[in-house]
Amino acid sequence: MIKSTRLCIPLLFCLLFFPAHIIHCQPASTADSLFMVLEQNPVNDQIYLQLDDLIGDLFYEDAELAMEIARKELTYARQARNIPAIGKSILNIGILFDMQGNYDSALANYNSALILAEQEELEQLQGDIYNNFSITHAVLGNMEESISSALKALAIFEKANDSARIAKIYNNLGARYSEMDYYKEALDYYQKAAEINKSLNDNKKLAFNYGNIGLLYYDQNQNEKALEFFKKSISLQDTVNDKYNTTIALHNLSLAYQRLSRLDTALKYEKRAYAIAEELNDELGKMSSLNGLAAIHQDMGKRKEALQFFLQSEALAIKLGARYYLINIYANIADLYAHQNNYQKAFIYNQKYSALRDSIMSTEKDKAVQKIKDFDNEKKQQEIQLLTKDAEIQKLNIRRQKIIRNSIAAVGVLIFVLATGLLHRYRYVRKTRNELTEKNKIINREKERSDELLLNILPAETAEELKTKGYSEAKHFDMVTVMFTDFKGFTFMAEKLSPQELVDEIDHCFKHFDQIISNYKIEKIKTIGDAYMCAGGLPLRNDTNPTDVVKAGLEIQNFMLDLKKHRKTENKPYFDLRIGIHTGPVVAGIVGTKKFQYDIWGDTVNIASRMESSGEAGKVNISQTTYEKVRDSFICEYRGKIDAKNKGAIDMYFVKSAVL
């Protein structure tokens, strides 16, 4: 039996931000007219809102024009120093990258917008960004991060009592529960969302809610019930003329008719869905319909055609990085190869299916569910605290009444006490003066310790800016060299050593890494488990950072090779190390308002990480960009073009040694 091809596509990103109340017959000329108004009055907030509406209308009609308008809007907003418009423009650009399947660029723009929104305390914008984070991470299979972001958005919108946005988060959480097979909880959230959208007379979102409810019944084999809600959904879609969501509704109808063995009808609806998705360049929609077409041909007994559709869907999912959708795709391809007696390929795809399923549906699922439990427990605790405060207020009122009654009697005693106090005041003041002097010394010592701790967490320039202004602005650096290291054989070492021995071994290595990069004035960014990340050329800009970081990388590898020889002589387990280096632009700044962390973002960071994962143990792997800047200082070995995840083929080099 073929696996379910249902893809639970989340609610449109643009629906959260753009009330489509303006119909643009000539979008380009409309945009030009709006920008002409900004030329005369660059601080006109109403014009920025109209531009946002226009971008929302263009998302699925002309994404290229939408991107052009969004970038031009960002330029005007920056010139006018209009902070809310800047944040919204960056978010728009991120959404457009997301719709293209360029998830790295989308997440980078979301991060930039979030930093700005947090600095300026723009809470509604923060909630919108967290909702988009949640949907993107769900597509990537990062279920814990998806749930965490959705709950952050929900907390913000509940505080603001924003019903429309709360409904979208309910729909989002319903989709996540559905993906984890918690159907009762998913139905509760979908119904809550539907009730709100019905009260708001929002047929567009209500149609999507009905489609999701239909999918829940479909997953539980209640096929007639599923078809009922799918028909409700497509009926509402016809009233709002939304092509994107129409493809989803058509795909859902196809699923229901396929389950009811009405294959010709199912094929007709799926072909219509694919045609619209192709017209809109909707990559997720095309992937969904390709799976549907494959399943229908499978049921028709046309396994060869079904396999071709699944392989096309697999290629599209890998291109998009859509890990969650690959689970069922791998299972279905394995099943078809098995029917063709091609057991070698069937085994390979079954292994891919098992590994990805365990990663997302076990580890990620457990973490995501715990996030929701923590959120619910926190809300209950807040309710208990409110009740406790009410009781405390009543007690305080009773106590105040007693104090008033007793205050008259206390006046006489108070006068006596004051007279006695005056007698001793001179002695007390002299004693207190000495104690204050000593306490000031203690305070100064503690301040010095606090400054030392802050400098251990943040660069000196950033720490000073934080103490002076109370915040630190994110900065753009044109040329930074980023290095990632990662231990090979970490799992083996973890099995051989006790937890304390394992931590001691990692600490021993990282302390040496810290000393080495300090010698080259390289900034340590963070460690994540057994991974180590640092960067040269920030916070103080310089032109030598590519050479400095490569020298440090070679020195770190030499230290690890010496340590390996020593461990071998003692017949002890040892680490091998991969190092990856890339040079390019980044954005750097502080994340959060508690437990400050100095961090960097941008495609440069992603490529540096790919350099590490594409390298070999005991070697320093660098990109073409870094090689061009250090070629005169080091002897390098060209590796050719190596495929890197989500980046395509990249020219890579192993650094052999420094030029003598």
Please report, for the chain, the start and end positions of each structural domain, with discontinuous segments joined by +.
Answer: 473-658
The tokens describing 128, both together, are: 């919108």
Q: What pLDDT score was predicted for residue 445? A: 65
Burial class of residue 500 in the structure, from the number of CB atoms within 10 Å of its CB (0-12 exposed, 13-18 middle, 19+ buried)? exposed
Is the model more confident about 440 or about 547?
547
Amino acid at 379: K
Report yes or no: 630 and 547 within 8 Å, Cβ to Cβ.
yes
Q: With contact defined as beta carbons under 8 Å apart, do 324 and 360 qualify?
A: yes
Mean pLDDT for 278-294 is 85
- Decide if pLDDT at 381 tops 80: no
Do 521 and 460 form a contact (C-beta atoms < 8 A)?
Answer: no
- Determine the length of the chain: 660
Residue 311's pLDDT band, with cuts at 50, 70 and 90, is very high
With 90 as the cut, is the pLDDT of residue 365 above it?
Answer: no
The string of pLDDT tens digits covering residues 182-205 is: 888 889 999 999 999 989 988 888
Residue 16 pLDDT class (50, 70, 90 cuts): very low
Q: Which residue has the higher pLDDT, 421 or 300?
A: 300
The C-alpha atoms of residue 489 and residue 74 are separated, in whole angstroms, by 46
> Taking residues 644-652, what's their average pLDDT?
87
Radius of gyration of the CA atoms of the chain, in A: 30
Exposure on the CB side of residue 83, measured as CA atoms within 13 A: 11
Confidence at residue 139, expressed as pLDDT on a 0 to 100 scale: 81
d(CA 577, CA 487): 5
pLDDT at 40: 86
Calculate mean pLDDT across residues 633-653. 90
Whole-angstrom CA distances from 260 to 1, 226, 269, 337, 540 are 15, 11, 14, 26, 66
Q: Which amino acid is residue 654, in one-letter code?
A: F
Q: Tell me the C-alpha distance between 175 and 284, whole Å.
A: 16
Question: How many helices (H) and strands (E) in the chain?
Answer: 24, 8
**In whole angstroms, what is the distance from residue 285 CA to residue 185 CA?**
26
Tens-digit pLDDT profile for residues 485-541:
998 877 777 778 888 888 888 999 999 999 999 999 999 999 888 899 999 998 889
Q: What distance in Å separates the CA atoms of residue 373 and residue 365, rounded to the nearest whole number?
A: 12
Residue-averaged pLDDT of the chain: 81
What mean pLDDT is predicted for residues 632-648? 90
What pLDDT shows up at residue 327? 83
DSSP characters for 506-520?
HHHHHHHHHHHHHHT
Residue 473's pLDDT band, with cuts at 50, 70 and 90, is confident
More confident residue, 259 or 631: 631
The arithmetic mean of pLDDT across residues 414-430, rounded, is 58
Q: What is the pLDDT of residue 6?
A: 45
Burial status of residue 589 (CB atoms within 10 A of its CB: 0-12, 13-18, 19 or more): buried
Residue 323 tokens read as 């890990």
Residue 460: per-residue pLDDT? 66
pLDDT (average), residues 136-155: 86
Q: Is the pLDDT of residue 24 over 70?
A: no
SS3 call for 473? coil
Q: What is the pLDDT averaged over residues 151-175?
A: 90
Percent of the chain predicted with pLDDT > 90: 30
User: Of the CATH numbers 3.40.50.1780, 3.30.70.1230, 3.40.50.720, 3.40.50.10280, which one belongs to the domain with range 473-658?
Assistant: 3.30.70.1230
Cα angle for residues 239, 241, 243 (degrees, 5° grid): 135
- Quote the CA–CA distance of 3 and 5 in Å, as a whole number: 6
Residue 20 confidence (pLDDT) = 36
Instruction: Indicate whether 213 pLDDT > 50.
Output: yes
pLDDT band at 480 (very low <50, low <70, confident <90, very high): very high
CA distances from 559 to 137, 520, 527 (A): 38, 16, 18
SS3 labels along 23-37: CCCCHHHHHHHHHHH
* CA 568 to chain centroid: 41
The answer for residues whose C-beta is within 8 angstroms of residue 652's C-beta and 6 or more apart is: 611, 614, 615, 621, 622, 623, 624, 639, 640, 641, 642
Give the model's pLDDT for residue 21.
Answer: 39
Residue 8 scores a pLDDT above 50: no
Sorted by sequence, the CB contacts under 8 Å of residue 478 that are 6+ apart come out as: 541, 585
pLDDT for 232-266, tens place per residue?
888 887 787 777 778 888 888 888 888 888 999 98
Reported as a single tens digit per residue, the pLDDT across 69-106 is 999 989 988 988 899 999 999 999 999 888 887 888 98
pLDDT of residue 10: 40
- Residue 451 has a pLDDT of 56
DSSP tag of 658: E
pLDDT at 2: 47
Which token pair is 268?
């007709």
- The answer to whether the beta carbons of residues 263 and 299 sit under 8 Å apart is yes
Mean pLDDT in residue range 131-160: 88
Of the ranges 210-214, 292-296, 352-356, which one carries the lowest mean pLDDT score?
A: 352-356
151, two tokens? 């709950």
Burial of 182 (0-12, 13-18, 19+ CB in 10 A): middle
Strands 620-623 and 648-658, how do they pair? antiparallel
The pLDDT of residue 469 is 66
- Residue 18's pLDDT band, with cuts at 50, 70 and 90, is very low
